Amino acid sequence: MYSTLITVAELTTILEPKSVSVIDCRFDLAEPSAGRKAYQVAHIPSAVYADLAQDLSGPPNTDYGRHPLPSPQRIIATFSRLGLKNAVQVVLYDDSGGMFAARAWWMLRYLGHRAAAVLDGGWPAWQHAGKPSEASDRQVRTTEFHGATRRDRLLTLDELDSTQDLVDAREPRRFRGELEPLDPRAGHIPGAKNHFFQGNLDDRGFFHQPRALQQAFMTTLGKLPGSETVHYCGSGVSACHNILAQVHAGLDEPRLYCGSWSEWSADESRPAAQGDG
């Protein structure tokens, strides 16, 4: 079972006998239709497409950020429509270093499905290796995917407090409040530390080795993150990349505040911190 990352070579060995479900999660925040269009041009054989806005987000249920987490019933319905089965390995990929794939990975774990892994290097690595692709939309038969939410791994706005170890996955300039292109106010949640998710990757777009990931978290937090660490970002997407990195590093699985800065900053009564502190 692959539960964090899977390499192109490893995926190839299980793709041929078709003992895996593959989900293409490519997306472009600036052009929401670009991911599906790219999928229709070429994708990993047998892959189905999951759209961040339409499939991996939904009507507000636990949070009111830009990409709200769908209700458990809606998530289960989506994974069923995508043809997932509880006993089957799931592999997720994108062309953004795993940022969008990690959101789907986290949602599967949230429902208790541990046999889920992000393709290390994503679509670029698959292409670079000269692996085959196919075009057009793939139709799959709807299954009966089941899951039970691990509610302790999700934190809502009202459950946040000043004693928690908060980790912000956004780029440093947004964290410091120097610019804010998307949300109502600039800055970050007071007390949070900035751990930019892109730092989980090397210059080729592959995740660093577990030891290096541990050391990076130590540098950010002054200690290793644990199960009570809370990750957030702008809208609960890139935070999942940090969660994936933490678990791949062999550390305890932390919690996600999915509403993230987009929800926090929309409430003017909540403070916004500036700078590095």
Residues pairing with 207 in the sheet: 201
C-alpha of 150 from chain center: 16
225: phi then psi, degrees, rounded to nearest 5: -70, 150
DSSP 33-65: THHHHHHHH-BSTT-EE--TTTTS--S-SS--S
Determine whether 142 is exposed, middle or buried from the number of CB atoms within 10 Å of its CB (0-12, 13-18, 19+): exposed
Alpha carbon separation from 242 to 17, 111, 118, 231 (Å, rounded): 32, 19, 13, 7
Q: Of the residues 25, 233, 240, 258, which is catalytic? A: 233
Residues pairing with 6 in the sheet: 119
The verdict on whether 240 is a catalytic residue reads no
Active site residues: 233
